[in-house]
Amino acid sequence: MALAAGLYSKQASALPATALRPPGALAEGDFLAACVRCGLCVRDCPYDTLKLAELGDGVASGTPYFEARKIPCEMCEDIPCVVACPTGALDRALTDIGDARMGLAVLIDQENCLNFLGLRCDVCYRVCPVIDKAITLERIHNPRSDRHAMLLPTVHSDYCTGCGKCEKSCVLPGESAIKVLPIRLAQGSKAEHYRRGWEEKEAAGQSLIGDQVELPVRGLEDKAYGDTRVRPGEGPQPGDAVPARPAGSGLDSGWKP
């Protein structure tokens, strides 16, 4: 029986991707050693965000979690759930809710996100409690209309607390286009073997491989090195013959977002 319980706990310790732990929660393995399933955090949550998992929920039975699309974390400044925890499963070292990392928002569906369609929805950006830091709008050219901009909601892991307000307020009727995922799922691991030249250069105060040889670029002789902007009247004109391209070339499949 106890062995079965052990196996069961092993199997069930994988948290479903939509289940988020309260702010300050220890890493999942340590959390399952520390949480006694008393529900005091649930009681002190003023927004009924947290609930205790019931047997069959897919989360370790009795442990607290929340689902961002249902009720997100309101990021109380006094973090009452952490204060209420008697065991340290929610770590009191967390005193600034901005340091919480409950998960990480990911704009997961770029095909249905209205901003990616060129519209100005912006709701996830507007509701973000860490607006302009955790989510920014990045302006890029809209290749479909060719004359508008797209403002793409972009999440930054340095600031995102995983509160889930963006996922909750996404205007899509069913599933949200932006979702808070456990950080383990949301982030790739860093390519440590890849040296970022620009970071190395900044750290060293100079380029590690000496100055670059700047060769003149035909047609851009009067511009600063690297400036490839085309002014009106420059470059190919309408009516110019378009060079033939083999059909089905992978370089430009003609896809438009």
Partner 1 sequence: MSAQTTTQARQVPPTSVRGAAMRGVVARPGQEAIEAKGWLRAHKWLLLRRLSQLGILALFLVGPWFGWWVVKGNLASSLTLGVLPLTDPFVLAQQLAAGHWPYREALLGGGIVLAFYLLLGGRLFCAWVCPVNLVTDAAAWLRRRLGLKGGKVPSGSTRYWLLGFVLVIAAVTGSLAWEWVNPVSMVHRGLIFGFGLAWGIVGAVFLYDLLIAPRGWCGHLCPQGAFYGLIGRSALLRVSAARRSACNDCMDCFAVCPEPQVIRPALKGAGQDHPLILDGDCTTCGRCIDVCGKDVFRISTRFDRSES
For partner 1, the binding residues (CB under 8 A) are 1-6, 8-10, 12-13, 29-30, 32-40, 42-44, 51-57, 60-62, 84-88, 92
At CA 38, angle to CA 33 and CA 40, rounded to 5? Answer: 115
- Shortest distance, position 10 Cβ to partner 1, whole Å: 6
List Cβ neighbours of 244 (8 Å cut-off, separation of 6 or more): none
Going by the DSSP 8-state scheme, the letter that residue 190 receives in this structure is P
Q: Which is nearer to partner 1, 56 or 250 (CB)?
A: 56
Q: How far is the CB of 87 from partner 1 (least distance, A)?
A: 4
Measured CA angle at 239 (ends 238, 241), to 5 deg: 115
Shortest distance, position 40 Cβ to partner 1, whole Å: 5
CB 251 → partner 1: shortest distance, Å?
52
Minimum CB separation of residue 12 from partner 1 in Å reads 7
- Looking at the Cβ atoms of 15 and 160, the one nearer to partner 1 is 15
Give the long-range contacts of residues 243-246, CB within 8 A, separation 24 or more.
none
Measured from the CB atom, is 42 or 135 closer to partner 1? 42
Give least dist CB 83 to partner 1, A: 10
In the complex with partner 1, the residue whose CB is nearer, 66 or 125, is 66
In angstroms, the first-to-last Cα distance of the chain is: 55
Smallest distance from partner 1 to CB 11, Å: 10
For partner 1, the closer of residues 60 and 135 by Cβ is 60
Query: With respect to partner 1, which residue has the nearer C-beta, 29 or 174?
Result: 29
Element (H, E) at 73: none
Residue 215: what residue type?
L
Q: CA 36, 60, 156: angle at the middle one, nearest 5?
A: 100
Rounded to whole angstroms, how far apart are CA atoms 25 and 96? 14
What does the block give as tokens for 221?
């002789």
CA distances from residue 246 to 107, 243, 251, 256 in whole angstroms, order as listed: 35, 10, 10, 20
In the complex with partner 1, which residue's Cβ is closer, 5 or 242?
5
Question: Rounded to whole angstroms, what are the CA distances from 185 to 44, 50, 122?
Answer: 29, 21, 25
